[in-house]
Amino acid sequence: MAPKKPIKKSTLAASRARGQATKPISKSRKTPKVEVLRKAAAPPRGNLPEAKKSDSYSAKDIQVLEGLKPVRKRPGMYVGSTGIAGLHHLIWEIVDNSIDEAMAGHATKITMVIHKDATITVEDDGRGIPVDKHPITKKSALETIMTTLHAGGKFGGGGYKVSGGLHGVGASVVNALSSWMRVEVGKDGRIYSQEYKQGEPITAVKQEGATKWTGTRVTWKADKEIFENVDDYDYKTVVDHLRQQAYLTKGVAVDILDERTGESDHFKFDGGIKEYVVHLAGNKNKINEPPFYVDKQIKDHRIEISLQYTEDFNENLYAFANNIHNTEGGTHVVGFRAALTRTLNNYGRKNNLIKENGDALTGEDVKEGLVAVISVKLPNPQFEGQTKSKLGNTEIRTMVESVMNDYFGSYLEESPTQARRILGKVLLAARARLAARAARETVLRKGALEGMTLPGKLADCSERDPANSELYIVEGDSAGGSAKQGRDRNFQAILPLRGKILNVERSQLDKMIANNEVKALVIALGGGIGEQFDADKIRYHRIIIMTDADVDGAHIRVLLLTFFYRYMRDIINRGYLYIAQPPLYLIKKGKEQWYVYNDEEKEKILEKLRVADLEKKSTKAGQKAKDEADSAGQQNEGELIEGEEVVAEGGPKKIADIQRYKGLGEMNPEQLWSTTMDPERRTILQVTVDSAARADEIFSTLMGDDVAPRKKFIQDNAAAVANLDI
């Protein structure tokens, strides 16, 4: 069970949160209720109360939701959430319909606009939704598609051979979750339109005039009865998603406009995913240039693959089926990996770069530094799971493997210089793998000899259930000492780090394991590292990074985030990683005190104190004047005495005492517990990855070898960093 105080979310790119208003707190320590972290016990089976006659359960208790009512009743089932992610999902659903038109060869341009009132318009120049009468519903096909779940042209009726949408719910779901929607269709030289309110048509499908335009234009306003904030569209999130779709749909033009700010973008990639690979490789040093690329049609299946090796130590592989990102891979990825490893081994042996009887390259060796995009388009994709995160079609594995064997093999033969550079990179990775394995075995062997002793610096908790345990990773021994004294040892463990850990972006696994701070962290967590990492073995399900609010603290935080993202990413994917939010200021006024987390909140509290002082002094001055008038026998007529004048009489006065915390070590154990570690009162940020590609780009920029991109990133974002002591 999560702590009672809400946990905010943050992306990896964020370094600090905006903080919250805080209430005066008691000086006495408040012991947490450890029960809040435990699951509620089930009632004894034999002591259940007898059912009353009024508790009967019959057919009249069964609800049947017709039309689009199920969507409004359970929106999370269809768009994931009613927060910002679900709000953006509405855009993805409508854009995907236009992308399907482009993949079918009928659309060349997609335009998306965020209007000033936060309504959204998506338009394409495809064939336009059919408007003739549907033979079964006896309504216009447009109305049928927009108001009926599981109605569409993607079920094998001939409308689309290839499509990302399989269930026919996209447009109707967006309609159901919108307070208002209007659809316009350009077809057969005429414009047709229909309007809806919360999924129900409020006009008939009507003809509005002649036009040369063909396509579909959808405009809607998300329903504030459903979503937490219907105005909270993030332009960058929209751009990242639509840019990716433009890469995957070669030749289609995508225009984006945000009328709120005037920002706009235009994308059109004739090179398709080859240009995507160049974008993903970014500023990393390239091994083979330009990237390898193949686009092959096999009957109704299309296979597009591009890859490039860099001098990086990590793999960036993105797999798509019908433009849907398969985060867990699938059969197309299995076929790609098998062919890549086999082809490099064959070329290496043929050219005496790998000994006939020597160790062959493994799948792990050929991953290092690889940037690859695999995009397949097929008529009947079979996805594992509701999220379509893994492709299951068996026939696509054979096709991908065959295409890679033929075309990548030819690429290596025809580009001997590039081939030798690639082989040099993967052979170096193989040697590093052997060295890392030896180092890892040494660590594990040492652990076994010591009875798997945990690091001496770790102050562990007594709780043994990972779901109820949390680990604070603390900067420095001083803060570690305060944290150890202030924690609740029942469920809170403390691991202080001495200095900065190794920059894993520039280091291979063998060097990492030899680093004392990294080694202590790996052993304390208990799940292994790299390819051997197993999140099921993690000893804590809340891992909280707690560093100072200065440059060194920010650097340590980024180093740790890089480590977790590169070598223990499942910790982030499962939502186990958090960032603590210690206060920046302590404001004292008389017997009251406030812990404040940013400058904005500090100014708000000080302003309230100023106003309170002025009101108090004005009241006193007014009462004094009244008393003097009464004593002189005169009637006071309520003359106003301005607060500013009262203050001016005594000169400027100090509003309150303010203490600035530059480091966690400045806080005593009681303060650290009250502000940062007490589950009842703390604020912690949950680390998430909304875009793996964007996260990878940021880490490569911040932690890589190339100085120029890092300098530009700092210059562009320095103004957004608040509360940082330099």
**Is residue 185 a contact partner of residue 131, using CB atoms and an 8 Å limit?**
yes
Instruction: Report the distance separating Cα 308 and Cα 292, nearest Å.
Output: 6
Which of 255, 477, 552, 725 is the catalytic position?
552
Instruction: Report the distance separating Cα 177 and Cα 61, nearest Å.
Output: 26
- φ/ψ of 112, rounded to 5, equals -130, 130
**Is residue 213 a contact partner of residue 186, using CB atoms and an 8 Å limit?**
yes
Residues in the chain: 726
Active site residue 705: no
- In DSSP notation, 125-182 reads -SS----SBPTTT-SBHHHHHHHSTT-SS-SSSSS-SS-S--SS-HHHHHHHTEEEEE
**Is residue 226 a contact partner of residue 82, using CB atoms and an 8 Å limit?**
yes
Those residues with Cβ within 8 angstroms of residue 121's Cβ, 6 or more apart along the chain or in another chain:
111, 112, 113, 115, 217, 218, 219
Query: How, if at all, do strands 470-475 and 370-377 pair?
Result: unpaired
Radius of gyration of the chain (CA): 31
Active site residue 359: no
Which of 223, 548, 690, 696 is the catalytic position?
548
Active site residue 534: no
Eight-state DSSP code of residue 113: E
Two structure tokens written together for 601:
């909140």
Which of 195, 311, 550, 725 is the catalytic position?
550
**Is residue 14 a contact partner of residue 557, using CB atoms and an 8 Å limit?**
no
Those residues with Cβ within 8 angstroms of residue 241's Cβ, 6 or more apart along the chain or in another chain:
88, 91, 92, 95
Instruction: Report the distance separating Cα 710 and Cα 700, nearest Å.
Output: 9
Active site residue 384: no
- Token pair 């929106």 in the structure block, residue: 75
Q: Give CA angle at 27 (23, 29), nearest 5°.
A: 105
Dihedral sign, Cα of residue 631, residue 634, residue 640, residue 645 = negative
**Is residue 95 a contact partner of residue 123, using CB atoms and an 8 Å limit?**
no
Amino acid in the structure at residue 434:
L
Eight-state DSSP code of residue 134: P
Two structure tokens written together for 667:
């806080």
Q: Which of 215, 221, 197 is nearest to 114 (CA)?
A: 221
- Token pair 């949408």 in the structure block, residue: 165
Q: Which of 204, 78, 177 is nearest to 120 (CA)?
A: 177
Instruction: Report the distance separating Cα 564 and Cα 198, nearest Å.
Output: 43
Which of 475, 690, 696, 697 is the catalytic position?
475
- Residues in a beta bridge with 689: none
Eight-state DSSP code of residue 676: I
Two structure tokens written together for 274:
């080859």
Two structure tokens written together for 654:
């100090």
Q: How many CA atoms lie less than 13 Å away from 465 in the CB half-sphere?
A: 8
Q: Which of 573, 578, 584 is nearest to 472 (CA)?
A: 578
Two structure tokens written together for 532:
């051997």
Eight-state DSSP code of residue 502: P
Chain centroid to CA 516: 31
Question: What are the residue numbers of the active site?
Answer: 475, 548, 550, 552
